[in-house]
Amino acid sequence: MNETIEVLIGEEEISRRVKEIGAQITKDYAGKAVTLLGTLKGGVIFLADLAREIKLDVFMEFIKVSSYGNESESAGKVKLEYPEKADLAGKHIIIVEDIVDMGYTASWLCNYLHGLNPASVKLCALLNKPERRKVKGVEIEYLGFTIPDEFVVGYGLDYAQKYRCLPYVGKLRME
Ligand code: IMP
Ligand code: MG
């Protein structure tokens, strides 16, 4: 099968939006240090660009969770892969996610982090696919773009580990 990619959100549009989100975070957290908690691996490219648009003391941490099962069986099971124990107590944490899809990952992360006694926890996501949501009440404080129910790749997002380094977000088509 042939894989083709159609641009959905271009490089300049992403860059503009990342600058706006960075400025908003800079304003909202004025006088504080923020800890960006990137989700491996999808959130890495977004985090790298966003971090440089926040004019505050920025710390970076990373977390890896896997969600397994599919929609018909054992959907929504999330497992922590890394780190075994995160030291985030007292920190202002902003989770930096590539995409909120069904919402299991983001919801699990928020619950998990609240148990570590941080000063605050907010969610920042590059993309949101609200049509696919299964978990109610996932609040995205900082959002790049809302997209339709399409499988997308690029700017951190992958298909079978490919396409993460594309500078744009594109729809993946199998032909
Ligand atoms: P959720 O738990 O269903 O919200 O899943 C979120 C995770 O699924 C994301 O962090 C991505 O790793 C992956 N994912 C969901 N939709 C897409 C997509 O369109 N392209 C690539 N990865 C996706
Ligand atoms: Mg992810």
Q: Which of 57, 87, 101, 149 is catalytic?
A: 101
Number of the ligand closest to the Cα of 172: 1
pTM over cut 0.85? yes
Q: Check if 172 has its Cβ closer than 6 Å to any atom of ligand 1.
A: no
101 is catalytic: yes
Query: Residue 40's pLDDT band (boundaries 50, 70, 90)?
Result: very high
Please tell me the distance from the alpha carbon of residue 41 to that of residue 117, in angstroms, as a whole number: 25
Ligand 1 touching residue 105 (CB < 6 A): yes
Distances 174 to 2, 5, 6, 101, 131 between C-alpha atoms, Å: 6, 9, 11, 20, 21
The residue type of 11 is E
d(CA 134, CA 75): 10
The SS3 call for residue 64 is strand
pLDDT digits (tens, 9 = 90+) for 138-160: 999 999 999 999 999 999 999 99
Q: How many Å is the maximal CA-CA distance in the chain?
A: 53
